[in-house]
Amino acid sequence: MEAGKISKTYKINFFTSNYGKFIEIKQVLAPYGIELIKINEKPKEIQSEKLEEIVEYCVAVARMKHPEPGFLEDTGLFIEGLNGFPGPYASFVFQKIGLKGILKLLKNKENRRSKFVTVIGYWDQQIKIKLFKGVVEGEITTKIRGKGWGYDPIFKPLKSDKTYGEMTTHEKNIFSHRGRAARKLAEWLREERNLKRGS
């Protein structure tokens, strides 16, 4: 087969209500010949400090109704200067206090180190669950910079001068927690489900 061409298309359901996540992962998986279908039915999350536990629970619920190949993910933002807050409650905290609220909490704090963590849980008819984790170390900026969604305009990876909000989706995927987890998923699918790597 010609290099760079994909042997077949593999369809996978992605259970999420978040369009930003969908677009990012879709872009990572496309060169592997994987087509994503957005299913707006992520099961209600349990309360836990551990992303893995949340994902395991949600996968167990989702696969009962949809056993065909699928995945979902949970992401947390852990800010050192706030003892790991908001962690897995990032979504709730974003809705309640937003970016300005986080900047206010960090005012006068020297330690702005933080990390984003994504855990993807995948399943299909052959495997009950397989987890893929992506972590990126960064810092919370002092000002809102750029656009993007969620915490993008205040999170800057340590290895970049730009916040996520100042990056294109392609650039963000190179650095990001989600890009890393999604590439692990794609590589595993390539090995275990016989997909070909695209260009």
Task: Confirm or reject binding of residue 17 to ligand ITT (CB under 6 A).
Answer: yes
Contact at 8 Å (CB) between 57 and 63?
no
- Minimum Å gap between C-beta 155 and ligand ITT is 6
**List 25, 55, 82, 90, residue binding ligand ITT (CB under 6 A):** 90
By three-state DSSP, how is residue 113 classified?
strand
Q: Is 74 a catalytic site residue?
A: yes
Going by the DSSP 8-state scheme, the letter that residue 199 receives in this structure is -
Task: Confirm or reject binding of residue 38 to ligand ITT (CB under 6 A).
Answer: no
Instruction: Give the total of residues touching ligand ITT (CB under 6 A).
Output: 18
Task: Confirm or reject binding of residue 13 to ligand ITT (CB under 6 A).
Answer: no
Task: Confirm or reject binding of residue 16 to ligand ITT (CB under 6 A).
Answer: yes
Residue 177 CA to residue 160 CA, distance in Å, equals 14
Residue with the shortest CB distance to ligand ITT: 150
Task: Confirm or reject binding of residue 48 to ligand ITT (CB under 6 A).
Answer: no
Q: Enumerate residues 6+ apart whose C-beta is below 8 A from 132.
A: 119, 120, 122, 181, 182, 184, 185, 188
Residue 133 CA to residue 185 CA, distance in Å, equals 9
Residue ranges in contact with ligand ITT by CB under 6 A: 16-18, 21, 42, 74-75, 77, 90-91, 94, 149-152, 164, 176, 178
